[in-house]
């Protein structure tokens, strides 16, 4: 192999960081990097699986593991026979960690959608989560740093910028004056009047500041797509997770936003089978999908993560966890199917990606006419659905 291979697991932060590593390591030969995830026991299992597969596929390459698993499970990952070296999660974008010259990795400009990580780490202590151990405390890029990165992407032709972070809505808490995320979004829109699309990745609803809410509700260039780090629909479970919101907070937020911007599409992360979850709690989890009209659902069956408080709580039997996750996915699929069917016949401005598909502003996936160039925004009037895509 010549160019390095980067295998990215887990969150959008890892995806964004992998692209920067790919640009930074472009001259390296016979190198495989596994940018790992350890958010759940299942994620750790998949990381180990990816490491073993990478070694089978590239037996002569140097195999380096970085990411959260390389931080949290340093001893066990480093002891794997397939692994040649570990790079600390906090150092993976530092050229010196890879024995390269320079102080900062180059950007990897995207031609379509650019993921810009404006925040890293987390200051909270959700009982199921080990991410603070893997990524440390919350750190924010300054406004000038964010604008410089977006300028590079925009100059390369990116039509959409996606702001990402481990705890995106905590952006700015560590900066002078403690600005809020709304101020950053406003600064981006002002600095790049020609940028057609700005999208937010997962947010914590209780941290949406008034300016950010106004921009989500009224600014056409901020995409009508809100993905909530919701986790559950039952208040008792939310309290045992040590989340900072209750069900009513999420309902109120979505109702207020939809009253002002009816086309906004709601997404959410939901955990099935959290410790102590009873059937009534599961029913509340199912019903929140309908009440919020969640059409972009990410469902996670709970798996105990050693070292977290939730792992010491009374566990739900594994078969029940799997069944409840299947229930959530089925209910979410029903809502999504109805939503997609309701978009048939509408004119949708779609940002074309590679492979003949693209996304509408509300993140509905759309099949594009043959020959549509990646990176262009085209109007599509879908006449039906085909394999989950508007077409």
Average pLDDT over residues 176-191: 98
Composition of the chain by helix, strand, coil, percent to 5 = 40, 20, 40
Q: Look at 14-18, 102-106, 254-258, 333-337 and tell me which has the smallest mean pLDDT.
A: 102-106
Quote the pLDDT of residue 110: 60
The CA-CA-CA angle for residues 216, 219, 225, to 5°, reads 40
Q: In this predicted structure, what is the pLDDT of residue 375?
A: 92
The pLDDT tens digits for 350-380 are 999 988 999 999 999 999 999 999 999 999 9
Q: Which two tokens stand for residue 104?
A: 């900062």
Instruction: Give me the mean pLDDT over the 178-204 stretch.
Output: 97
Task: Report yes or no: 338 and 290 within 8 Å, Cβ to Cβ.
Answer: no
Cα pseudo-dihedral 157, 163, 166, 172, rounded to 10: 130
Strand partners, 259: none
Residues 255-272: tens digit of each pLDDT: 999 999 999 999 999 999
Q: According to the model, what pLDDT value does residue 27 have? A: 81
* pLDDT at residue 106 greater than cutoff 60: no
User: 291 pLDDT exceeds 60?
Assistant: yes
89: left (phi > 0), else alpha (psi -120 to 50), else beta? alpha
Quote the crossing angle between the two packed helices 143-155 and 181-191, to the nearest 10°.
Answer: 40
Instruction: Name 269's bridge partners.
Output: 298
Question: For the chain, how many residues are written?
Answer: 391
Per-residue model confidence (pLDDT) at position 228 = 98
In angstroms, the CA 296 to CA 224 distance is 12
DSSP letter (8 states) at residue 291: H
* Backbone torsion region of residue 211, taken as left when φ is above 0, otherwise alpha when ψ lies between -120 and 50, otherwise beta: alpha
Please name which of 142, 139, 103 lies closest in space to residue 122, comparing C-alpha atoms.
139
For residue 134, what are the contacts with CB-CB under 8 A and spacing of at least 6?
38, 67, 68, 69, 71, 72, 89
Q: Among residues of the chain, what percentage have pLDDT more than 70?
A: 97
Structure confidence at residue 105 (pLDDT): 56
CA distance 164 to 185: 12
Domains and CATH numbers, the chain: 5-98 (3.40.50.12160), 113-342 (3.80.30.20), 348-390 (no CATH)
The per-residue pLDDT of the chain, averaged, comes to 93
Q: pLDDT band at residue 192, thresholds of 50, 70 and 90? A: very high
Residue 113 has pLDDT above 90, yes or no: no
Query: For residue 13, what pLDDT is reported?
Result: 84
Residue 108 confidence (pLDDT) above 70: no
pLDDT at 229: 96
Contact 257, 299 (CB under 8 A): no
* CA distances, 196 to each of 225, 344, 376 (Å): 15, 23, 11
Q: Which two three-digit tokens encode residue 233?
A: 């629909």
């Amino acid at each position: 192999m010549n160019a390095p291979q980067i295998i990215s697991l887990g969150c959008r932060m890892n995806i964004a960081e992998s692209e920067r590593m790919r640009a930074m390591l472009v001259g390296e030969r016979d190198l495989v990097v596994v940018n790992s995830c350890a958010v759940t026991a299942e994620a750790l299992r998949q990381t180990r699986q990816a490491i073993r597969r990478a070694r089978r596929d590239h037996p002569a390459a140097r195999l380096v593991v970085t990411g959260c698993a390389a931080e949290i499970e340093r001893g066990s990952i480093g002891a794997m026979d397939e692994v040649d070296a570990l790079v600390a999660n906090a150092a993976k974008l530092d050229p010196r960690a890879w024995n390269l010259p320079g102080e900062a990795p180059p950007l990897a400009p995207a031609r379509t959608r650019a993921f810009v990580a404006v925040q890293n780490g987390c200051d909270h202590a959700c009982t199921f989560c080990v991410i603070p151990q893997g990524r440390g405390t919350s750190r924010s890029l300054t406004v000038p740093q964010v604008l410089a990165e977006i300028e590079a992407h925009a100059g390369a032709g990116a039509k959409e910028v996606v702001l990402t972070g481990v705890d995106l809505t905590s952006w700015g808490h560590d900066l002078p004056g403690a600005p809020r995320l709304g101020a950053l979004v406003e600064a981006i829109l002002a600095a790049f009047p020609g940028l057609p699309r700005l999208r937010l990745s997962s947010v914590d609803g209780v941290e949406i500041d008034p300016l950010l809410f106004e921009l989500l509700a009224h600014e056409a260039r901020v995409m009508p797509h809100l993905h909530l780090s919701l986790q559950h629909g039952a208040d008792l479970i939310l309290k045992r997770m040590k989340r900072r919101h209750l069900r009513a907070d999420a309902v109120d937020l979505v109702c207020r936003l939809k009253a002002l911007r009816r086309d906004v599409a709601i997404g959410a992360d939901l955990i099935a089978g959290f410790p102590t979850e009873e059937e009534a709690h599961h029913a509340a989890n199912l019903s929140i999908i309908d009440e919020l009209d969640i059409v972009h659902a990410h469902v996670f069956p709970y798996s105990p993560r050693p070292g977290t408080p939730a792992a010491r709580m009374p566990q739900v039997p594994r078969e029940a966890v799997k069944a409840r996750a299947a229930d959530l996915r089925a209910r979410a699929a029903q809502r999504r199917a109805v939503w997609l069917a309701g978009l048939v016949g509408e004119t949708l401005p779609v940002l074309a990606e590679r492979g003949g598909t693209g996304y509408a502003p509300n993140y509905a996936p759309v099949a594009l006419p043959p020959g549509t160039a990646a990176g262009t925004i085209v109007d599509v009037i879908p006449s039906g659905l085909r394999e989950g895509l508007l077409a």
